[in-house]
Amino acid sequence: MRLAALAGAFALVAASAIAARSGEVEIATARGPVTLAASPTRVAAYDAAAIDTLLALGVTPVGVPEKLYDPDLAAAEQGATPVGTLFEPDLEALSALAPDLIVVGGRSAPKFDAVAQVAPTIDMTISPDVAGDAKARLAAYGTLFGREAKAAELAAALDAQIAAAQAAATGKGNALIVLTNGPKISAYGRGSRFGWLHDVIGLPEARPGLAPETHGDAISFEFIAEVNPDWLIVVDRGAAVGAEGASARETLDNPLVNGTKAAKAGHVVYLDASKLYISGGGYTALSRTLAQMTAALEG
């Protein structure tokens, strides 16, 4: 984890703030340090996590994808020009918008070179170190937009939420994280896109050694019954993207799952899927997930 080290980063950011405002600033990105003109005013963002964090800092992009799927990002959709999708930019619309900064990340990161032809572009992809990267992005955006104090305030709030979740998880047993996609189920462990729930909150893995793949390890109901976790943490992909088909609750409502320790104890936690699957690593998304986990563990 880089959480402790990042605290020092905010002090350095504050020390250089006055000098930075009048010219260029250097910020950390997923592709390394980048120097940019300070305080861009016309930002197009193709990453839900980036848009989430920018909104939390009071920065509203002028261009965003057509559909963001996360209800908390509705304000960005209403006030901005559509410039493509999370996966595919509309270069014509983007050029017409004339942004002075473009942000990509995650699903849109492969289009970095294409959009960089239009305006300066940064890749703010969130790695499996979700909490660490969330704070790193806060620090970077705080520096870039002259909102260091607000970024530090939000980072401190995340630290407090992490501490609360860790306290709630102490002595509560292990957990298995699963994603449902209609009738299909995948499991996620440490090093995966949802593995930070183990690393940050401190819930041990009910089944160590799961492959840290983007789409998880395909599993069966028999697997869940065999692992027999103390907690079953569920992400419903269908709910996140508005797909038709069986919900996670319907998929997991069967004798094998209902016979687990988690189900018998009422320890099946259905997290807000849009916050994990769509906006994972955004400030509000991370905050909401931590709050949900704390409430469940304390419940």
Residue range 95-113: mean pLDDT, rounded: 98
Residue range 18-27: mean pLDDT, rounded: 71
pLDDT digit string (tens) for 266-283? 999 999 999 999 999 999
Residue 163, both tokens: 């501490």
Whether 269 contacts 233, CB under 8 Å: yes
Structural domain spans, the chain: 24-147, 171-298
The 10 Å Cβ neighbour count of residue 192 is: 23
Domain covering 171-298: architecture: 3-Layer(aba) Sandwich (3.40)
**Residue 153's pLDDT is what?**
98
DSSP lists the bridge partners of residue 233 as: 177, 269
Alpha helices in 91-245, H assignment, sequence order: 91-97, 112-115, 130-145, 148-169, 196-201, 221-227, 237-241
Average pLDDT, the chain: 92
CA dihedral (244, 250, 252, 255) in degrees, to 10, reads -150
With a cut of 50, say whether residue 17 has pLDDT above it: no
pLDDT digit string (tens) for 32-60? 999 999 999 999 999 999 999 999 999 99
From the options 3.30.70.20, 3.30.365.10, 3.30.565.10, 3.40.50.1980, give the CATH code of 24-147.
3.40.50.1980
With a cut of 60, say whether residue 168 has pLDDT above it: yes
pLDDT digit string (tens) for 211-257? 877 778 999 999 999 999 999 999 999 999 999 889 999 999 999 99
Least confident of 8-12, 152-156, 160-164, 244-248: 8-12
Alpha helices in the chain, H assignment, sequence order: 3-15, 17-21, 48-56, 74-79, 91-97, 112-115, 130-145, 148-169, 196-201, 221-227, 237-241, 248-252, 255-258, 261-264, 273, 283-298
With a cut of 70, say whether residue 20 has pLDDT above it: no
Of the candidates 19, 50, 44, the residue with the CA atom closest to the CA atom of residue 120: 44
Q: Which band of pLDDT confidence, cut at 50, 70 and 90, is reported for residue 78?
A: confident
With a cut of 70, say whether residue 287 has pLDDT above it: yes
With a cut of 70, say whether residue 206 has pLDDT above it: yes
* Same fold flag, 24-147 and 171-298: yes
Element (H, E) at 38: none
Residue 166, both tokens: 């860790």
- Classify 283 as helix, strand or coil: helix
Residue 89 has φ and ψ, to the nearest 5°, of -75, 150
Vertex 284: Cα angle to 297 and 203 (nearest 5)? 30
